Structure 1
């Protein structure tokens, strides 16, 4: 717990508007991906086909889209940012791995890798000063 408090103090002292805009853009991107996966469920099933032989394919289909939708909203608002990103990490790690197991889509690999890198940054950095987490913390 002390590590999280130390990270939050450091992040709040070094908060810049472009970093908050990057967090908001990540939230919008994940939300839009969630909408895309809901509207094109067959595309998501095709993406997951390389790992379908391991089982749990339908569970993943029903986990990925809602996790992106809810996580995108939370990340955009800066509410429970680290928890929302923790829910995104398994999806993004598998998105990178799937590209190596099946047919490699260079654009999907690059997009998944960049999104994973930004999520890892915000997992450490937190939500920053311009967020709901900071607002609720200051209400005490």
Structure 2
């Protein structure tokens, strides 16, 4: 508990305001990605089957869609941001490891680069937390007596 308290103190002192806008954009992006996955969950299941996750593709597909929907909203609002990021990290690590980078079918694989950028941003927000324009900050500064 002391480690997270020290991380919060450091992050509050070193958190620029523009990072809050990036957090908001990342949360909205993840939420929209979750909506896209929910709208056609079969495509996500086929992708998971292609990377040899036959036995659990149904469950992983639903976990990914749900985690993106809920986690995206939580990250955008700045509510329990580190926990929301923690649930996103395995998904994005898997996307970076299993989606091949470079040229695919004659074009640059932008999905891999988007996954790498999203993973980097998630790591940044795991370290820096949600910032001043967030529900977490409001709850820390306006405690009920």
Task: Using structure 1 for the length normalisation, give the TM-score.
Answer: 0.91
User: 2:81 — aligned with what?
Assistant: 81
- Return the match for 1:121 from 96, 101, 124: 124
- Cα distance in 2 for partners of 1:2, 1:129 equals 21
- After TM superposition, give the deviation of residue 7 of structure 1 in Å: 1.4
Instruction: Give the count of matched residue pairs.
Output: 139
| 1:25-53 deviation digits (Å, cap 9, x = unpaired) | 00000000000001121221232122344
Give 3-state SS (helix, strand or coil) of 2:131's partner: coil
Report the secondary structure of 1:48's partner residue. Answer: helix
In the TM superposition, residue 128 of structure 1 has moved relative to its aligned partner by: 1.1
Separation of aligned partners in 2, 1:53 and 1:118: 26
Q: Which runs of 5+ in 2 are unaligned?
A: none
Query: Where does 1:47-62 land on structure 2 (aligned, <5 Å)?
Result: 47-53=47-53, 55-62=55-62
Q: Which has the higher helix share?
A: 1
TM-score, normalization: structure 2? 0.88
